[in-house]
């Protein structure tokens, strides 16, 4: 089995020559007569340049095939092989990675498992983020959760910036929020997921995740690009950490934003995440508050869904984007809103209800033009944020 990687080189770079350097230098390397007796084995580990294309702007795209035997069925060894040392060698960008179906790890829950946990199968899921990100007490988190959960929210998560801080220690936040989750379950029968941000030293993360689950956490949030793909793999593989893992894209811009260096967003947030055990992956929507390309967003969506991972377009999501988001995604999407819920003029509960009003209005085929929307939570949201 082989792994194919597409590299794009900017104008002025001999892409074919650089691809040959990668194919050899990132695999077995060169050898002399001392290893003639090992030549057959050594050659079996070499990468091969299999295709090249010169673009009209002078850039070139070259495909290299790598033996799967060179890596350890994980993302960390894969990255070391396809773009390790060479990532420091000059201008080149990884724009696609094609992995065998059984490479890496599939989600433990994913789209189907998260829907089963919530008992919701026929609509998009609505997710909120605790705001402000820092400075709230554990009790504040519980109060906010009570408000949005009572309005019908499906999922809430910590802000990715919030660690295990003295102002609201992780276990204290969980304790305050778990009481609310239990109340909602007892009173309504509904399950609401709370993705607790998992942070800490490497030698403590798995033990900490065990503790959080034992104390009632029903989902986890992980900044996988700062903590590492190996951490995500270990969490997803552990049978005692039997809750969905929501993955945040923090640090992705440092890897992906440069036009001629690094890796495409669709590779990092799509392909790699889809093969790493994530259950749901957050990333920017192209009509949100961060600059993002619609084509890259579509590739991420498709890469994730191909392995049953929930796509979670984020950053600037509000009720006015619901028609466009559902046109792009259909029903299998988690709409993740921070300020788009928490900063609603009538409060967070109204922000949640505005999303449900938007879903209902869309299902009825009604216009989102402001003058046609009756007074209520959705209209107030549209007056503040507009529509896409």
Mean predicted confidence (pLDDT) in 371-378: 97
* Phi, psi dihedral angles at 306 (to 5 degrees): -65, -20
How many domains are there within the chain? 2
Q: Using 50, 70 and 90 to split pLDDT, how confident is the model at 217?
A: very high
Examine residue 223 and state whether it is found in any structural domain, yes or no.
yes
For residue 82, pLDDT over 90 is answered with yes
Q: Which residues have C-beta within 8 Å of that of residue 312, sequence separation ≥ 6?
A: 127, 246, 280, 281, 282, 283, 333, 334, 336
Mean pLDDT (the chain) is: 96
pLDDT range class, residue 54, cuts 50, 70, 90: confident
Cβ-contact 337, 318 below 8 angstroms? yes
Q: Which residue has the tokens 């028609």?
A: 323
Are 46 and 121 part of one and the same domain?
A: no
Task: Kindly indicate the confidence band of residue 270, based on its pLDDT and cuts at 50, 70 and 90.
Answer: very high
Is residue 257 located within the same domain as residue 353?
yes
Q: Are residues 31 and 116 in the same domain?
A: no
Task: Find out whether 280 and 269 touch, Cβ atoms under 8 Å.
Answer: no
The partner residues of 247 in beta bridges, in order of sequence, read 222, 281
Domain containing residue 135: CATH number? 3.20.20.110
Asked if the structure places residue 104 within a domain, the reply is no
The residue count for the chain: 388
121 and 209 together in one domain: yes
pTM of the model: 0.96
Q: Are residues 306 and 284 in the same domain?
A: yes
Q: Is 103 domain-assigned? A: no
Least confident window among 36-40, 62-66, 117-121, 380-384? 36-40
Catalytic positions are: 85
Is there a domain that residue 187 lies in?
Answer: yes
Q: Which positions ≥6 away from 38 have C-beta within 8 Å?
A: 31
* C-alpha span between 201 and 208 (Å, rounded): 10
Do 82 and 231 share a domain, yes or no?
no
Spatial contact of 185 and 161, defined as CB atoms under 8 Å apart: no
Residue 133 and residue 6 in one domain? no
What pLDDT does residue 288 have?
Answer: 87
The residues near 369 (Cβ < 8 Å, ≥ 6 apart) are none
Whole-number Å distance between alpha carbons of 333 and 283: 12
Instruction: Tell which of 41, 71, 98 closes a domain.
Output: 98
**Is there a domain that residue 212 lies in?**
yes
Q: Token pair for residue 96?
A: 């696609």
- At which of 29, 64, 98 does a domain end? 98
The CATH number of the domain where 33 resides is what? 3.30.70.150
In a domain, 117, yes or no: yes
Confidence (pLDDT) at 57: 87
DSSP 46: -
Burial of 191 (0-12, 13-18, 19+ CB in 10 A): middle
The parent domain of residue 117 ranges over: 110-385
What is the average per-residue pLDDT within 258-267? 98
Q: How confident is the model at residue 56 (pLDDT cuts 50, 70, 90)?
A: confident
Measure Cα distances from 60 to 5, 13, 57, 111, 264 in Å: 14, 8, 9, 37, 15
Residue 182 has pLDDT above 90, yes or no: yes
| Token pair in block for residue 119 | 């008992």
The verdict on residue 93 lying in a domain is yes
β-pair partners for 321: none
Dist CA 50 CA 23 (whole Å): 10
Q: Are 246 and 75 in contact (CB under 8 A)?
A: no
Kindly state the tokens that stand for 155: 């999922």
Give every CB contact of residue 33 below 8 A, 6+ residues apart in sequence: none
- Same domain flag for 15 and 68: yes
116 shares a domain with 63: no
Choose one of 54, 76, 98: the last residue of a domain: 98
Give the 3-state secondary structure percentages of the chain, helix then strand then coil, rounded to 5. Answer: 45, 20, 35
189: in domain: yes
């Amino acid at each position: 089995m082989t792994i194919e990687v597409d590299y794009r080189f900017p104008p002025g770079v001999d892409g074919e020559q650089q691809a040959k350097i990668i194919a050899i230098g990132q695999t077995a390397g060169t050898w002399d007569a001392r290893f003639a007796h090992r030549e057959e084995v050594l050659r079996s580990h070499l990468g091969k340049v299999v295709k090249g294309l010169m673009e009209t702007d002078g850039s070139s795209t070259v495909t290299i095939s790598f033996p799967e035997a060179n890596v350890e069925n994980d993302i960390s060894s894969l990255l070391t092989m396809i773009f390790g040392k060479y990532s420091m060698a000059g201008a080149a960008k990884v724009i696609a990675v094609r992995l065998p179906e059984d490479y890496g790890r599939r989600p433990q829950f994913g789209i189907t498992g998260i829907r089963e946990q919530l008992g919701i199968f026929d609509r998009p899921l609505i997710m909120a983020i605790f705001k402000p990100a820092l400075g709230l007490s554990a009790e504040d988190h519980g109060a906010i959760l009570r408000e949005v959960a009572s309005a019908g929210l499906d999922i809430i998560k910590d802000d990715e910036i919030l660690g295990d801080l003295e102002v609201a220690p992780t276990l204290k936040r969980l304790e305050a929020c778990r009481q609310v989750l239990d109340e909602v379950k007892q009173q309504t029968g509904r399950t609401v997921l709370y993705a607790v941000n998992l942070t800490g030293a490497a030698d403590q993360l798995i033990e900490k995740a065990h503790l959080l689950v034992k104390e009632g956490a029903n989902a986890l949030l992980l900044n996988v690009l700062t903590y590492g793909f190996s951490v995500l793999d270990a969490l997803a593989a552990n049978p005692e950490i039997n809750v969905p893992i929501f993955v945040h894209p923090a640090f992705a811009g440092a890897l992906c934003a440069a036009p001629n260096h690094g890796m495409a967003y669709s590779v990092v947030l799509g392909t790699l995440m889809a093969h790493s055990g994530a259950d749901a992956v957050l990333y920017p929507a192209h009509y949100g508050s961060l600059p993002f390309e619609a084509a890259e967003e579509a590739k991420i969506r498709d890469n994730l869904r191909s392995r049953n991972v929930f796509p979670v377009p984020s950053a600037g999501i509000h009720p006015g984007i619901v028609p466009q988001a559902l046109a792009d995604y259909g029903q299998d999407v988690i709409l993740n809103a921070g300020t788009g819920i928490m900063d609603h003029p009538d409060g967070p509960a109204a922000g949640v209800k505005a999303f449900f009003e938007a879903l209902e209005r869309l299902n009825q085929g009604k216009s989102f033009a402001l003058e046609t929307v009756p007074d209520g939570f959705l209209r107030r949201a549209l007056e503040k944020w507009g529509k896409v």
